[in-house]
Structure 1
Amino acid sequence: MIEVDVGLTIGAFSLDVAFRNNTGVTALFGQSGSGKSLTLGIIAGLMRPDSGHVRLDGETLVDVEAGVFVPVSRRRIGLVFQDSNLFPHMSVKQNLLYGRWFAPRDASRIDFDAVVETLGIGTLLSRPPARLSGGERQRVAIGRALLSCPRLLLFDEPLAALDMQRKLEIMPLIERVRDEFKVPIVYVSHAVEEVARLAHRVVVIESGRVKFIGDPAAAFGQLTAAPAEDRFDLCSVLEARVADRSPSHGLVALDHPAGVIWVAGPVGAPGAPARVIVKATDVVLSLTRPQEISMRSVLAGNVSRIKLDGPLAVVEVELSESSHLLATITRGALEDLSLKAGSRVHALFKSAALHEQAVSVGDAV
């Protein structure tokens, strides 16, 4: 169990963040400068808060009022940053073994070979960091943090410096770390695809304050929760299950309470839970269910909220009690369709617009 309730003022910026979680990955999500990394630094012990406390598995790491502050070296927290921070004069194996120095002798040790196999770095052990790609360096950084036998892992934008292909290689490895080693993780990111795939719980932070806490589907589908992002970044996360039916022209059906979502397969075994990211600018709204159209994914729902934004409007569609979808349309389309709260609509989006490698299938859902 990680429990955080802290306050800190630095210049004109004020941080006041509180959340708790007892399993899996907790994602701190928000725009740059919102206070995500500052919160992570307080948990790690790199910063001292002005007020509040941090507790991990019942142990108090920080309590300003009680005068408690456990130093970084005694917290047993593994850190992975955007820059891997590997020691350049050490080989990959030496960097990995360095993490062992921070593991208490009486701690349950994570097996070296298991970490190497999980992260796929067996062929890299003799190399210096200078001969590694960015993705390979991050794998080694994750391994070093794991081998310190941490009670908690902190990831601070670990994939921000990587291209999409490298990100898609690393995310399944973080999933394996999450699922196989069972170490709780606090993950800082402003990338929806990372949070939707990895997190059990999302803490949306805006201007130093917690705006919303919930699962990814709730955090990214409702106007009251969604961070104020550029319209091209606004998206929703839909939870569905892989349908028990044969693929159609290479597409796999995902069953959702509001309809069927088609994605390029394969994405998982029949019955497996799945999360799909849909960009608001990729969604088309119709008052009737279109028949002769190329879009395969059609979900039915009711308009629950509308937010006007200059010549555009963001429409929140309630697909089911726990599922919402955002659509960005023009003000003219809003008026032509006479959309208002309660209007029955069909939301359509192209299967080609869904990145099948970013579909999350398994334990995080």
Structure 2
Amino acid sequence: MNDSSPDLCFQLKATDPIPLEVKINCQPGELVALLGPSGSGKTTLLRSLAGLYTQARGQIHSGEHCWLDSNKGILLAPEKRRLGMVFQSYALFPHLTALDNLLIPLKGLSRKQAINLAKEWLERVHLKGLEDRKPAELSGGQRQRVALARALIARPRALLLDEPFSAVDQATRQKLRRELALLRQEIAVPTLLVTHDLEEALQLADRICVLHHGQVLQVAKPECLMQRPASPTVARLLGMQNLFEGRVLSNTKEALQLDWSGLTLTLPYQKGFQKNQRVTWMAPPHSLIMHRPDRPVAGDRENPIKGRIEELVTLGPHASLAIRPQHASQWPLRFYVPQHFVQRQQLKQGMNISLSLLGRELHLFA
């Protein structure tokens, strides 16, 4: 089955209780993750789209259907918007069976048609045989599957997911994410996912919208967002490290020379940067290559930096490293390496090492 819906376009603005200024277009079959800290306006935005929060002004269109136009006095009631919603708390009726919960949105069908469709959807979300169980008799993951099936069964014009997997354990969360990804291949519905979990957004989203204090800071594909965050604020909200200050020494077609606390780094030419311009720049993990001075290896020696391992902390299969550069002891470089790399290289706290910074991977913020 391949159900298709129109795109979802909205431009909303609110001042109270949480400021909001957002403009997004979500295409059929596209999942846009709304990512940001608590209080950034994610849930307020979702409630505005659903018609549950009416203080926001602006426009909301689902294809040719207008749900909200403040200038024209249009405000469509929630039940007329044909939205599917999945909440963190599931919002299932506790006195009804899984099957009966799915029958609620199907009042326009005959009893036989509705039951057949509900059973089909329960099978699609791997709950065949559990039709007669009430929510209390289902696991958290099973309840969430019922909630997802109920949201999709009436062929909504858009799907809104409000932190839908945060109430289940990690193993169940991974399984539900995979099942949602599989369902999305069959159902072309514009989908907005509210999450504060970067991993979840990276796994599921076609685009990620970073929200902060109700403002859209960046909307981009996951790989673009992680490699080229639009600002230091976006980078910090994403938990990125290794953000430093520098000064452009020169910027020609051959290369950009950047001064970092007295050390010159060489990058490819960067359009828009001028000589003596102060900039913030970032060294993402994939820009760092580590070498042991006593174990020379064939490899890239670009932008060499000498330093000392100040911190080495084991975190499961990985280790967190903090390298204190000799030339800028106030600016440690932090990154993760596999635990087997630590063991193979016999890395220890206090050890002197050297790093290469790959200029093509360094990111300058305009």
For the aligned pair, the TM-score class normalised by the smaller chain equals: 0.5 to 0.7
Q: Secondary structure at the match of 2:104?
A: helix
**Correspondence for 2:350:** none
Q: Deviations over 1:18-72 (max 9, x none)?
A: 1112141111111111001100111111112442111111221101011111111
* Overall identity of the aligned pairs, in %: 29
Residues 171 and 138 from structure 1, CA distance in 2 versus in 1: closer, same or farther, beyond 3 angstroms?
same
**Can you list the C-alpha shifts for 1:197-222, whole angstroms capped at 9, x where unaligned?**
11111111011100001101122333
Q: 1:21 matched to which residue of 2? A: 26
1:2 matched to 2:3? The reply is no
Q: Output one character per residue of 1:253-280: Cα deviation in whole Å (capped at 9) or x when no partner.
A: xxxxxxxxxxxxxxxxxxxxxxxxxxx9
Contact 1:49/1:64 (<8 A) preserved = no
| 1:189 to partner: Cα distance | 0.6
CA distance in 2, matches of 1:291, 1:46: 64
- Asked if 1:285 corresponds to 2:291, the answer is no
CA displacement at 1:229 relative to structure 2 = 5.0
Q: Measure, in 2, the Cα distance between the counterparts of 1:333 and 1:284.
A: 16
1:90 corresponds to which residue? 96
Q: CA deviation at 1:184?
A: 1.9
Give 1:211's aligned residue: 217
Q: Who is 1:182 aligned against?
A: 188
User: What's the secondary structure of 1:332's corresponding residue?
Assistant: strand
Question: For the Cα contact (< 8 Å) 1:100–1:148, is it kept in 2?
Answer: yes
Tell me if structure 2 keeps the 8 A contact 1:178–1:184.
Answer: no
1:234-260 Cα shifts (integer Å, max 9, x gaps): 48xxxxxxxxxxxxxxxxxxxxxxxxx
What is the Cα deviation at residue 331 of structure 1?
A: 7.1
Q: Distance in 2 between matches of 1:287 and 1:129?
A: 52
By how many angstroms is 1:10 displaced?
1.3
Residue pair 1:6, 1:49 contacting (<8 A) in 2 also = no
Deviation (angstroms), 1:149: 1.7
Give the SS at the match of 2:122: helix
Query: Is 2:99–2:119's contact at 8 Å kept on the other side of the alignment?
Result: no
Q: Is the 8 A contact 2:321 2:337 kept in 1?
A: no
What is residue 257 of structure 1 aligned with on the other side? none
For the pair 1:47 / 2:53, whether they are aligned, the reply is: yes
Structure 1 residue aligned with 2:325: 333
How many aligned positions are there? 271
Amino acid at match of 1:285: L
Taking a change above 3 Å as real, the CA distance of residues 139 and 164 of structure 1, as seen in their structure-2 partners, is same
CA contact (8 A) 1:118 1:173 kept: no
Q: Does structure 2 retain, via aligned residues, the 8 Å contact 1:284–1:348?
A: no
Whichever residue aligns with residue 55 of structure 1, its letter is H
How far has the Cα of 1:289 moved from its partner? 10
Shift in CA distance, 82/75, structure 1 to aligned 2, threshold 3 Å: same
Residues 218 and 234 in structure 2, CA contact (< 8 A), matched pair in contact too:
no
User: In 2 relative to 1, CA 102–167 (structure 1 residues): closer, same or farther, beyond 3 Å?
Assistant: farther
Structure 1: tracts of 5 or more residues without a match: 105-109, 236-279, 304-310, 313-327, 340-344, 354-365
Q: d(CA) in 1 for partners of 2:160 and 2:168?
A: 18
| Gap change, CA 1:142 and 1:329, over 3 Å in 2 | same
1:350 aligns with 2:343: no
Distance in 2 (CA, whole Å) between partners of 1:140 and 1:219 is 33
Which amino acid is 2:105 matched to? G
The alignment's TM-score, normalised by the length of structure 1, stands at: 0.64
Bigger CA drift: 329-338 or 39-48?
329-338
Q: Pick from 83, 87, 95 the counterpart of residue 81 of structure 1.
A: 87
Residues 1-365 of structure 1 aligned to structure 2 (within 5 Å): 1-11=7-17, 13-23=18-28, 24-101=30-107, 111-224=117-230, 227=234, 233-234=239-240, 285-286=288-289, 330=322, 332-333=324-325, 335=327, 349-350=337-338
What SS does structure 2 have at the residue aligned with 1:84?
A: coil
One-letter amino acid matched to 2:325: A
* Displacement of 1:281: 9.9
1:102 and 1:83, CA in 2 relative to 1: closer, same or farther beyond 3 A? farther
Name the CA distance, whole Å, in 2 between partners of 1:28 and 1:34.
Answer: 10
Normalised TM-score (structure 2): 0.64
What's the CA shift for 1:91?
0.5
Conserved 8 A contact 1:76-1:103: no
Unaligned runs of 5+ in 2: 1-6, 111-115, 242-282, 304-309, 312-319, 342-366
Q: Is the 8 A contact 2:67 2:75 kept in 1?
A: yes
Larger radius of gyration: 2
Q: CA deviation at 1:92?
A: 0.6
* Equivalent position amino acid for 1:180 in 2: E
The answer to whether the 8 Å contact 2:119/2:131 transfers is no
Q: In structure 2, what is the Cα distance between the partners aligned to 1:301 and 1:21?
A: 44
CA gap 1:88/1:113 in 2 versus in 1, 3 angstroms: closer
Q: Answer whether contact 1:6 1:51 (CA < 8 A) is retained.
A: yes
* Alignment partners' CA distance in 2, 1:68 and 1:129: 37
Mapped contact 2:227–2:284 kept (Cα < 8 A): no
Q: CA RMSD in A?
A: 3.9
